[in-house]
């Protein structure tokens, strides 16, 4: 296994395989559903080699890996023995309705996103070949490519029937059977010309529905369910409830065939008579609503979507737009919403390109090169989490570039006509029925503009970083690092412990801030940074330092040692003193304190850690004075 050790470390730090309810993955992330997120060592995972960051959103614990996440996923599944869908004994999580919605959409669409993008790319390139007169619609090459590109969308309900059944814990083949019934050719052909309807319901309205057949005398409103999304998801959900009901009353000896027999006899007619029409009407209304919002001001819509799309991605909120986009493609045969976000990934990539050009930091260059390449192809998580977001300003600049690019897309009336690839592979998705029109050229202009705006804004934004780790400490202090960070050296000598090992909830639960603990083997406290000794308790057991850069550091020697009332503690500085890193601040008698029955485990915490991006702990097990202990990232 290529990523065996990484997989083992990930499993360990999400709380062990017994803490995992289910596991899936998308393009860059492992998406865990954990029984208890508090058991996961988020900070350890964030700082683990091979992990970009950790995101908690939509009821999911997302470990961001990067482009090679499928390989890591395979090793995690193999080592953990996980089922890749929801397990049968998953505990029902307490999630808000919004989180449940995001979780449902993610669970239904994640498994097919790769094939969805692939078939869309094939369909898009086929449209490009026609527009460039490389092929014509009578060519066998075109027809086979078209069948390959259309296969998923033409039978989308069957695929979604499988993934929705997996999500709702329904017999997967029941889900597929419902989907297959929805696109059954004989039923679909009943509405084709020259067939005449028996009568029409709701004539003249947006939900006008001709009736061609009845079921037991009940009118059946036949819709075109090819490429549809909402009907099959709702039908599978309801089918699951019906299936569970039959499981309770049908004897075990005949359940194998009678449960699906009875379930299908109920759910398929119910879908055609009730669920399908209601879901389809809802889809039409949703499509009309999104289009009307877009029509109020395409430019303003573009500014908003372009600016915030990457923020939506970070928090996993972009999943909420996926069913709307697919619904719009089904109902309207075009989607203006996702059409507005095309420039965002290129703006992000442009910012990374400028950083790559400007920085002399070899480590940062090493991060920028693969992030730039993957960004060109639309995968921006490595750029976001590894480069721009930790530095804040570059991320904001990329959002500006995406916003202005979105405004161009809105102004040019650019829409997507198919779900295609990401990045440059998304270009063919803007080719509509009229070929390369204004909207298509608008997508090209916006793509280039987004990249250039991000690149130029970053190019003319001051970027200072540590160019060489071999520089002297004085030299480094005169240069503001690109990632603003402050390193705290160890004030003690001894064994390093996690704060969770401290038998005091204020420290172990992180209530007083992020940090680390040390079991000292020598009775001396040194200043971990240059700063001011802002607090020195009269009992000598605890002291606070505010660093020159504003970090507020608490060092608490032992647990409950305040009860010694200063006995065995010998201060070597006083409150208000300006101190230098390495200066002796306190001495204490280890043996005497331990004989009194007190633990000497000493937490070192950043009490204002909420003001910082992150506090990264050392990976040392044993530490000496002045060795790096904590890194505070702004």
Active site residues: 26
Q: CA–CA separation, 494 vs 588, rounded Å?
A: 14
Q: CA–CA separation, 452 vs 464, rounded Å?
A: 21
510, 491 Cβ separation under 8 angstroms: no
273 DSSP assignment? I
Is residue 257 classed as helix, strand or coil in its secondary structure?
Answer: helix
Q: Please give the structure tokens belonging to residue 259.
A: 């449960």
List phi, psi (to 5°) of 47: -100, 15
H or E element in which residue 369 lies: helix 362-376
Q: CA–CA separation, 258 vs 256, rounded Å?
A: 6
Angle at 348 between CA 345 and CA 352, to 5 degrees: 135
Residues near 191 by beta carbon (within 8 Å), at least 6 away in sequence: 210, 212, 222, 224
Q: CA–CA separation, 231 vs 212, rounded Å?
A: 19
Note the residue count of the chain. Answer: 634
Q: CA–CA separation, 339 vs 391, rounded Å?
A: 28
Q: CA–CA separation, 113 vs 569, rounded Å?
A: 62
H or E element in which residue 534 lies: strand 531-536
Q: Residue 194, preceding bond cis, omega within 30 degrees?
A: yes
Q: CA–CA separation, 78 vs 29, rounded Å?
A: 17
Give 436-468 as a DSSP string: S-HHHHHHHHHHHHHHHHHHHHHHTS-------
Q: CA–CA separation, 362 vs 368, rounded Å?
A: 10
Q: Which residue has the tokens 């050009």?
A: 357
**CB neighbours of residue 456 within 10 Å:** 15
Please list the alpha-helical segments (H only) found in 3-139.
Answer: 4-13, 42-46, 69-80, 97-109, 113-131
H or E element in which residue 583 lies: none
405, 343 Cβ separation under 8 angstroms: yes
Q: Please give the structure tokens belonging to residue 152.
A: 């998923």
């Amino acid at each position: 296994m290529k990523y065996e050790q990484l997989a083992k470390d990930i499993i360990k730090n999400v709380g062990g395989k017994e803490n995992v309810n289910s596991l899936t993955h998308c393009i860059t992330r492992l998406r865990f559903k954990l029984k208890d997120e508090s058991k996961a060592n988020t900070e350890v995972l964030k700082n683990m080699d091979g992990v970009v960051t950790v995101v908690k959103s939509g009821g999911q614990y997302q470990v961001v890996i990067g482009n090679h996440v499928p390989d890591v996923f395979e090793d995690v599944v193999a080592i953990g023995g996980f089922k890749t869908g929801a397990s049968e004994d998953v505990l029902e999580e307490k999630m808000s309705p919004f989180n449940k919605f995001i979780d449902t959409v993610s669970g239904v669409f994640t498994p097919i996103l790769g094939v969805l993008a692939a078939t869309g790319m094939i369909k898009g390139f086929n449209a490009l070949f026609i527009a460039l007169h490389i092929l014509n619609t009578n060519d066998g090459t075109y027809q086979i490519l078209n069948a390959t590109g259309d296969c998923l969308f033409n039978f989308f309900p069957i695929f979604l029937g499988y993934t929705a059944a997996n999500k709702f814990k329904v017999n997967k083949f029941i889900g597929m059977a419902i989907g297959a019934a929805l696109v059954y050719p004989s039923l679909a052909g009943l509405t084709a010309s020259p067939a005449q309807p028996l009568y029409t319901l709701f004539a003249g309205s947006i939900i006008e529905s001709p009736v061609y057949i009845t079921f037991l005398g009940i009118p059946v409103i036949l819709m075109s369910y090819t490429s549809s999304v909402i009907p099959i998801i709702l039908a599978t959900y309801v089918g699951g409830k019906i299936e569970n009901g039959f499981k309770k009353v049908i004897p075990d000896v005949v359940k194998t065939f009678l449960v699906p027999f009875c379930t299908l006899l109920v759910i398929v007619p119910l879908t055609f008579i009730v669920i399908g029409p209601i879901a389809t009407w809802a889809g039409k209304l949703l499509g009309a609503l999104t289009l009307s919002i877009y029509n109020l001001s395409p430019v303003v819509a573009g500014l908003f979507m372009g600016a915030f799309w990457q923020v939506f991605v970070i928090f996993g909120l972009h999943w909420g737009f996926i069913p709307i986009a697919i619904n719009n493609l089904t109902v309207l045969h075009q989607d203006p919403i996702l059409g507005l976000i095309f420039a965002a990934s290129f703006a992000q990539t442009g910012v990374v390109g400028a950083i790559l050009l400007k920085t002399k930091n070899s480590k940062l260059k090493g991060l920028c090169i693969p992030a730039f390449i993957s960004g060109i192809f639309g995968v921006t998580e490595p750029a976001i989490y590894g480069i721009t977001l930790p530095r804040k300003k570059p991320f904001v600049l990329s959002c500006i570039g995406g916003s202005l690019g979105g405004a161009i897309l809105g102004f040019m009336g650019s829409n997507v006509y198919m779900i295609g690839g990401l990045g440059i592979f998304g270009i063919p998705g803007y080719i509509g029925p009229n070929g390369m029109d204004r909207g298509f050229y608008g997508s090209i202009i916006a793509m280039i503009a987004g990249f250039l705006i991000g690149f130029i804004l970053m190019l003319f934004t001051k970027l200072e970083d540590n160019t060489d780790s071999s520089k002297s400490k004085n030299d480094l202090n005169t240069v503001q690092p690109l990632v603003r960070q402050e390193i705290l050296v160890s004030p003690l000598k001894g064994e390093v412990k996690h704060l969770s090992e401290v038998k005091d909830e204020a420290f172990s639960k992180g209530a007083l801030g992020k940090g680390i603990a040390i079991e000292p083997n020598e009775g001396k406290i040194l200043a971990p940074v240059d700063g001011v000794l802002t607090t020195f308790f009269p009992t000598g057991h605890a002291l606070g330092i505010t660093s020159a850069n504003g970090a507020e550091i608490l060092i608490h020697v032992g647990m409950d040692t305040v009860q010694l009332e200063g006995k065995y503690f010998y201060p070597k500085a006083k409150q208000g003193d300006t101190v230098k890193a390495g200066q002796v601040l306190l001495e204490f008698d280890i043996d005497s304190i331990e004989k009194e029955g007190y633990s000497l485990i000493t937490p070192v915490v950043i009490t204002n850690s909420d003001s910082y991006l992150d506090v990264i702990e050392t990976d040392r097990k044993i530490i000496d004075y002045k060795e790096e202990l904590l890194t505070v990232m702004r």
